[in-house]
Structure 1
Amino acid sequence: MSLTGFKGLNITQLKLIAIILMVLDHIYEFFSYTNVIPIWFTWLGRLVFPIFMFAMAEGFYYTKSKEKYMLRLYIGSAFMGIFNFLIVEIFPRPDSFPILNNIFGTFFITVFYLYYIEKIKENKQNNKNIIPTVLIIIVPFILSFIPALTTMISNNLGINFNSNVYVLLNGFIPSPLFVEGGPIVVIIGIIVYSLRNNRNKQVIAYTVICLSLYTGGGFNIQNLLYTNYQWMMVFSAVFMLLYNEEKGNGYKYMFYIFYPSHIYILYLLSTIIMLK
């Protein structure tokens, strides 16, 4: 098969690939209890977050209004927080399975940092005071303690909050510590964006981060494939290298609709099957 004429992948194509892999990963997540979903579904799912982060970094760079871009992501995060809470409360699974998926919160907090890192650079260039901006960057870390404080206060008042309450809180108050994917994904987003003008350095830095996720346990097949397989994120570097610097058709709002829709459909289907 010849690759003659292949011009690489644009952002739209990268997103579509990530969406397909994401669906497979979430099928494994919601239906793994059936023991019939192959684990390679979630292996492929390791590529999803990095590809989306890569696309998000490009989108943030080219967007006409970074403020509106950030606002859309926050609205998406808050929406997911509300509906993740409501759907689980209204249609609980017998195993009390929570919906923790909220990629919008991860994107928002990443873009939040990118936005204010750029502000710091601008202020330094214009000899302006950077301390106020630095303090703003610290705010999400401070807000990360709100769930813990809520637990402490509620316990003192004799109120028992279940995990779904924290899902709701994290939707409205995304923090770098507790967003989906955790701080490592936020760091990947920042690094991918910072090195976007040098693809080789970008991919090398990304590869080093991914391989550092290997937490030990021996270099054997069992461990590498079935226990510590988060390192498989490294393979998404291939798609970064195939990026052709083009936007494609865009489908600007498709992901905002598709992402929550497929999460809730899969959750409800998994609940119905489990109840049978």
Structure 2
Amino acid sequence: MNDALTMQKENIRVKGLSVQAIRVIAAISMICEHLWLTIASDYIWLHYAGRLAFPLFAFLVVEGFYHTLSPRKYLLRLLILAIVSEIPFNMVYYGAYEAPGHQNVLWTLAAGLTAVMAIHFVKMRLDNMVATGLTIVFASAFMMHIANELAADFGGLGVLTVVLFYTMRNLRYARAGELFGLFMINAVWMGGATVGWIVLNHIVTFPAQLFGLLALPLIWKYNGTKGFDHAAIRFISYSFYPLHMLILGMLMLSGVSIG
């Protein structure tokens, strides 16, 4: 009887998506976006598919914070990777090796992680709802300001997305909070390009960022496991962001185009 219950629990535990599975989906979404920006600009659906990437990576940063042995080293790795990725990012987004007016998304994720670390520190040390609430407000506002000043990709609202997933984690109504929060961030505050569809002979428009909400059903499938983990996999995960942008940037600058 006990063995049967144990097996049943194990089966339940492995259902859904692991960290590695979500990371792969996020990477595919990101590739779609960067293909559209570089060598496949005729395929607008790639841009829509790419909207899922940032919410997924924001979620993964929060999970990484909870599972790392050293949040400071985790933050340092993000910052180092942000520096390494700057030239490939400039190539993809600006077609140049130098573009000081805009920074890559890893700076945004690092700013979000910094806010989370500050909030968590106060939450654990003081165990006071008022102090924690004030820290959420001020830490978020400060790091949002930093991201905006850096002109980092997704900016302050990207930082807010990371904080959203942290504050909603393990709450009773987390899904409702994540849905409402991400809708406000992506559809109301972020703005950007719009999509127009013809419905019953009328053109219906909505922000392209709204496709980012499709990341939530995937996040809600998270089963709490890391998935397949190996040193080589971790290396690929960290090197993938600058490496794929470097390749796509070189192809674009060489005049390669699809479609």
- Which bracket does the TM-score occupy, shorter chain normalised? 0.7 to 0.9
What amino acid is the match of 1:7? K
Residue of structure 2 equivalent to 1:195: 168
TM-score between the two structures when normalised by the length of structure 1: 0.69
> After superposition, what is the alpha-carbon deviation per residue over 1:124-167, rounded to whole angstroms, capped at 9, x for unaligned?
249xx99xx89x9476567x4xxxxxxxxxxxxxxxxxxxxxxx
C-alpha distance 27-8 of structure 1, shift in aligned 2 (>3 A): same
Counting only pairs closer than 5 Å after superposition, residues 191-270 of structure 1 correspond to structure 2 as 191-198=164-171, 201-212=173-184, 213-215=186-188, 221=197, 228-250=207-229, 251-270=233-252
Residue of structure 2 equivalent to 1:119: 121
SS class of match (1:122): helix
Higher strand fraction (1 or 2): 2
With 241-250 and 101-110 compared, the bigger mean Cα shift is at 101-110
Distance, in Å, in 2 between the alignment partners of 1:236 and 1:247 is 18
Give the C-alpha shift of residue 204 in structure 1.
1.7
> After superposition, what is the alpha-carbon deviation per residue over 1:95-141, rounded to whole angstroms, capped at 9, x for unaligned?
x9889562321211111001111122234249xx99xx89x947656
Distance, in Å, in 1 between the alignment partners of 2:112 and 2:224 is 21
Residue of structure 1 equivalent to 2:151: 178
Which of residues 102, 105, 126 in structure 1 aligns to 2:104? 102
C-alpha distance 224-81 of structure 1, shift in aligned 2 (>3 A): farther
Give RMSD over aligned pairs.
Answer: 3.7
SS class of match (1:214): helix
Tell whether the 8 Å contact from 1:76 to 1:105 is kept in structure 2 after alignment: no
Tell whether the 8 Å contact from 1:15 to 1:51 is kept in structure 2 after alignment: yes
Distance, in Å, in 2 between the alignment partners of 1:141 and 1:29 is 26
Give the C-alpha shift of residue 15 in structure 1.
0.4
> After superposition, what is the alpha-carbon deviation per residue over 1:206-249, rounded to whole angstroms, capped at 9, x for unaligned?
22133333359999626766x62111111111101111111112
Tell whether the 8 Å contact from 1:210 to 1:232 is kept in structure 2 after alignment: no
* 1:7 matches 2:15: yes
Distance, in Å, in 2 between the alignment partners of 1:261 and 1:70 is 20
SS class of match (2:254): helix
With 252-261 and 115-124 compared, the bigger mean Cα shift is at 115-124
What amino acid is the match of 2:18? N
Give the C-alpha shift of residue 82 in structure 1.
5.6
Residue of structure 2 equivalent to 1:58: 63
What amino acid is the match of 1:23? I
SS class of match (2:248): helix
C-alpha distance 83-16 of structure 1, shift in aligned 2 (>3 A): closer
In the alignment of these two chains, the number of paired residues is: 227
Give the C-alpha shift of residue 61 in structure 1.
0.5
C-alpha distance 124-177 of structure 1, shift in aligned 2 (>3 A): farther
* 1:271 matches 2:249: no
C-alpha distance 29-117 of structure 1, shift in aligned 2 (>3 A): same
SS class of match (2:220): helix
**Structure 1 unaligned residues grouped into runs of 5+:** 145-173
**Structure 2 unaligned residues grouped into runs of 5+:** 1-10
Distance, in Å, in 2 between the alignment partners of 1:242 and 1:176 is 35
Residue of structure 1 equivalent to 2:5: none
C-alpha distance 220-28 of structure 1, shift in aligned 2 (>3 A): closer
C-alpha distance 176-249 of structure 1, shift in aligned 2 (>3 A): farther
> After superposition, what is the alpha-carbon deviation per residue over 1:68-110, rounded to whole angstroms, capped at 9, x for unaligned?
111111111222236656x69xx849xx988956232121111
